[in-house]
Amino acid sequence: MLKSREDQEREEEARLAPYAQRVSESAGRRHAEPPHPYRTAYQRDRARIIHSRAFRRLEYKTQVFLNGTGDHLRTRLTHTIEVASVSRTIARALGVNEDLAEGVALAHDLGHAPFGHAGEEKLNELMRGQGGFEHNVQSLRVVEVVESKYPDFPGLNLSYEVLEGLRKHDRGYVRRRADTGEVERFSSPSLEAQIANVADEITYYSHDLEDGLDHHLITEKQLETIELWQVCTEYVKKHFPKLAGKRLRSYVIRELIDYEVEDLISATHERLEAAGVASSDEVRGEESLLAGYSDSLSKANRQLRKFLYQNLYFHEEVSAPNLRGCDMIERVFGYYLSRPEELGKTTSERLEREGVYRTVCDYVSGMTDRYLIEECDRLGAG
């Protein structure tokens, strides 16, 4: 049976919870476009993100380990796909908009610099006094300014609700109501945006842990004092006593993800019931975020996070390659800062409007690890 966009929107109206963000109530796009006959606005957003150059480049950007150091290690792209998957699971269980949650998840890391968080810190240092650099802010710039796919405007022209989900550190969210056009300010983003944010955390906790174990930078012995690892290991050993070695470890990670997702769904549902929110804008009006873990799991996650920073993220085998990458970032940045005329044509068009520092920052932050290394060699930057 053929389903038009209107058919899908009507099904959504009947299926979603009252506090969900309905696509029919979207605040729209900055640049008005005619609706698609078979795809909703959030489905179009998802496709625009996936088909963007920035999304493709995530394959060659560091998650924790330098890209290319292991065939099974996560990259920024595989991490993003995993976040999108977890976001859809949570959104479906809570009866909210899966397409929107997935769209936010797919776009959330588009602004990451090469060489992971170390690269982000280096670019922030190089942009001191020039507005700084922060990957969430850069993700917004990528989809609003940097990507160039349409003849009449810059960026991807995503819906307001996806852009809202990328404004993680805003102190308030400005939204134009779909029904009246009136501009309102809210304290929180949609529940779908909140879900994507926590799904990001669940994913990198568990999968960075798995990559660290597989790469022998941390050991199961070290994890014996970590509450979450103990709980999940005991569960797996009880139900699958014959599992051992890597298979046991992989299943413990699987159980850890399930444990976190189930806790998040349950705790979020309890907060929604207690708050009594009856619309997506009532979710936005809440001073505190509604999507989150129980108090006990929040405490356990803080312990795991501290462990990962102490034993994995600052491990020499992780930090040393990234620090070398930061040196290359600085050299390439300096090269183009002194020779902006050598920037690509599309990038150069932003020089007058954005200034040389921001334009060079956009260019360098968009590079993959591999391309930055090649550029450093090619330019003899130093």
pLDDT value at position 349?
A: 81
Query: What confidence tier does 171 reach under pLDDT thresholds 50, 70, 90?
Result: low
**Phi/psi of residue 303, nearest 5 degrees:** -65, -45
pTM over 0.85: yes
> In this structure, how many other beta carbons lie within 10 angstroms of the beta carbon of residue 1?
3
CB neighbour burial string for 232-252, b if at least 16 within 10 angstroms, e if fewer: bbebbeeeeeeeeeeebbebb
* Three-class DSSP category at 372: helix
Residue 73 has pLDDT above 80, yes or no: no
**Crossing angle of helices 356-365/316-338, nearest 10°?**
140
Q: Indicate if the pLDDT at residue 377 is higher than 60.
A: yes
CA distance 117 to 309: 12
| Rounded distance between C-alpha atoms, residue 78 and residue 87, angstroms | 14
Identity of the highest mean pLDDT range in 185-194, 306-315, 316-325, 337-346: 185-194
**Could you write out the DSSP letters of every residue in 194-238?**
HHHHHHHHHHHHHHHHHHHHHTTSS-TTGGGG-HHHHHHHHHHHH
Q: Is the pLDDT of residue 252 over 60?
A: yes
Kindly tell me the burial class for residue 377, based on how many C-beta atoms sit within 10 Å of its own C-beta (0-12, 13-18, 19 or more): exposed
pLDDT tens digits along 109-161: 999 999 988 899 999 999 999 999 999 999 999 999 999 888 888 999 999 99
pLDDT band, very low/low/confident/very high, at 299 (cuts 50, 70, 90): very high
Residue 62 pLDDT > 80: no
Per the CB < 8 A criterion, the answer to whether 343 and 352 are in contact is no
Task: Tell me if residue 7 falls in helix, strand or coil.
Answer: helix
% of the chain with per-residue pLDDT over 90: 73
Instruction: Report phi then psi at 217, rounded to 5.
Output: -90, -25
Give the lowest-confidence range in 52-56, 122-126, 179-183, 269-273.
Answer: 179-183
Q: Which CATH class for the 5-379 domain? A: mainly alpha
Angle at Cα 97 formed by Cα 92 and Cα 100, nearest 5°?
120
- Distance separating alpha carbons of residues 343 and 349, to the nearest angstrom: 9
